[in-house]
Amino acid sequence: MSTFTWNEIRSNNVRTTLLFIAFFTLIAGLSTAIGFILNSLVLGWGIGLIFFCGYGLFAYYRGSNMALSLTGAEPADQSEYRTLHNVVEEIAIAASIPKPEVYIMQNDTPNAFATGMSPEKSAVAVTTGLLQAMDRDELTGVVAHEVAHIEHQDTKTMLIAGVLVGSIAILSDIFFRVSIFGGGRQRNNWVFIIVGLLAMILAPIVAELIRLAVSRKREFAADAKAVEYTRNPNGMSGALRKLKHAQTGMQNTPRSLNHLFIRSDLDDDSFMNKLFSTHPPLDERIQRIESL
């Protein structure tokens, strides 16, 4: 099992590196194009750097708190949610990381997520619906999956990916606007306007697909690692089965945070959902666990 998990992690890291290169290529390309239209490459690169650094600082200092706030997560009372706290502590010990902060979401939909830029500054949040739906073994499997994301630093990776997607969306919009209103000889060049429009439409879509790929590749490894922590594949597979048959839709939660949760709202087998989902199909995840 450990060999399988290590191979998954190593493969994910290689793919993620390549995908981040694609991210930075998009940002560099858009920044260069903006600079070309404004007749100053330094200005274009400066604009790209400003937005990337600005988003990066926000993600580092406020990203996790923002995610918890937007999902309505609140600190889980130690006495009221003693079992949950015990499970999180047990898995943190198995993973050799500090115990993450524990949060609860008042939501009937069974789900959970982890966030944090480092294991020392991380949090695990679960819904009240998850606590009601799962037995202790299944709850332990879900928590172990989320702690695996923390140990593998997937939570940091996804926060950074979100920063890059936001930067690309803003830069593509700037490119379109300077294509129309920018100075220099390109001011009335319809070619630049058309290219700017295409960039505004396509660049954020491409960036989003890259972000989804970064997230999707890491779910199998987290599932496998959760089984390694708990030494109980039935807990993890049983939890996924219950999630498959449970209601979907996290009320009052932005869809942009779908990638954080153990179950996405796009987990069915339709072509479009497979394309835009942040997670592999639940049936495939269950099969992978049962093959360990």
Catalytic site positions = 146
Q: Which of 18, 48, 46 is nearest to 30 (CA)?
A: 48
Length of the chain in terms of residues written: 292
In angstroms, how far is the first alpha carbon of the chain from the final one? Answer: 6
Residue 47 CA to residue 58 CA, distance in Å, equals: 17
What is the three-class DSSP state of 71? coil
Q: Which residue do the tokens 């592999």 mark?
A: 280
As a whole number of angstroms, the longest Cα–Cα distance in the chain is: 69
263, two tokens: 């179950």
220, two tokens: 């199998």
User: Residue 84 CA to chain centroid, in angstroms?
Assistant: 23
**AA identity, residue 163:** V
Say how many C-beta atoms besides its own lie within 10 A of residue 69's C-beta: 11
- CB distance 68 to 115 below 8 Å: yes
User: Residue 291 CA to chain centroid, in angstroms?
Assistant: 26
As beta bridge partners, residue 103 has 75, 125
- CB distance 67 to 257 below 8 Å: yes
Residue 276 CA to residue 113 CA, distance in Å, equals: 19
Cα→Cα distances 44→47, 49, 152, 155, 188, Å: 5, 9, 35, 30, 19
